[in-house]
Structures are given as structure tokens and as C-alpha cells.
Structure 1
């Protein structure tokens, strides 16, 4: 019984960790790459734009990162990406 409870708890913790939000202003290259929909080139564009300063909000993020449209922002947000701790609130 105890063994089953521990196994269930371990699975629950791993599941929760896999859905953790990734803050674009603090994320490492590896953390950004872990977001479904971001690859090496888009991650590089994000990191380059972030060198100019933190993203203020999703609108600022989409203006400063080439190729980022509302539909893409919605998908990235659904995958766990946040800007200033907030998910994308726009309409895809």
C-alpha cells in the first residue's frame, strides 16, 4: 500500500513539473527550447531581443521577436510560456 502511494505521489510530482510555466524573461536557452513550438532559431531570436531588456508584456514580446503572431503566441502560452508571469490573453 505504501509503495503504491509513493509511486502515485512521484508520478503526480513529475506531471506537475512538466506543466510548469517558463518565464520568457528569465528562461535559459534550454528552458525555451523545451517549449513546444520553439526551436533553436526562434529561441535565438528571443534571446537576442531580450538582450535589449526584459519584455514588458505579450504585445512587446510579439513586436520585438520577428515572426511571432497572435496565433503563435497563443500556442506558446498554451505550452507554458509566460511574459511577466502572464499567459497570452489575446485572441488567436
Structure 2
């Protein structure tokens, strides 16, 4: 019984890393963006349309202000689910700017 529990635990740990992929908001295509929890096809299209129209997002604040339906809280949730901007999650990108 203990061996089976260990096996189940190992399988869960191994597959949990596969489920959490990071996607840069300035590079991701429609399919990659929709893999992020909180981003459906409509929001992914808005992100891509705004990125095409106004260029790459320069900061999380820029992203939040330019994409309809994305605010500070939803951007934080998306970041926790694997969305990054210029290689950094939301909290890291902002703390580096303050230094």
C-alpha cells in the first residue's frame, strides 16, 4: 500500500511540472496564450490584436491599460498561472523597476 502511494505521489509530481508552462505575452500565439488559466480565445485575441496595433507591451501596467478586460488582479492571476512579460512574472518585473 505504501509503495502504491509513493508511486502515485511521484507520478503527480512529475506531471505537475508539465501542466505549468510559461508564455511571454509579447511572444505567445493564440494557442499558447489560451493555455494560460484565465485566458480564453477572446482574451487571447484581444492581447494579440493590441500587441499588433501598439507594439510589444513594455510593462505590466502597459499590458493592463491596453488590453480590454485585463486589470491588476486578473493580470496577477494570469502571471501566477504562467504568463510572463519580458521574461518575468508580474511581481518580479515591478520590483526590478523600483530598484
TM interval, shorter chain, is 0.7 to 0.9
- 3-state SS of paired residue (1:66): coil
Structure 1 stretches (4+) deviating beyond 3 angstroms?
none
Q: RMSD across aligned C-alpha pairs, in angstroms?
A: 2.2
Q: Name the structure with the higher helix share.
A: 2
- 3-state SS of paired residue (1:31): helix
Q: Distance in 2 between matches of 1:19 and 1:46?
A: 20
After TM superposition, the score normalised by the length of structure 1 is 0.78
- The answer to whether 1:24 aligns with 2:25 is yes
What's the offset of the Cα at 1:20?
2.2
After TM superposition, the score normalised by the length of structure 2 is 0.73
From 57, 61, 65, the equivalent of 1:59 is 61
Which stretches in structure 2 are left out of the alignment for 5+ residues? Answer: 1-9, 95-99
Structure with greater Cα Rg = 2
Q: Which residue of 2 aligns with 1:74?
A: 76
Instruction: Summarize deviations over 1:33-70 as a string: whole Å, max 9, x none.
Output: 11111111111100001102111111111111012111
Q: Distance in 1 between matches of 2:21 and 2:34?
A: 14
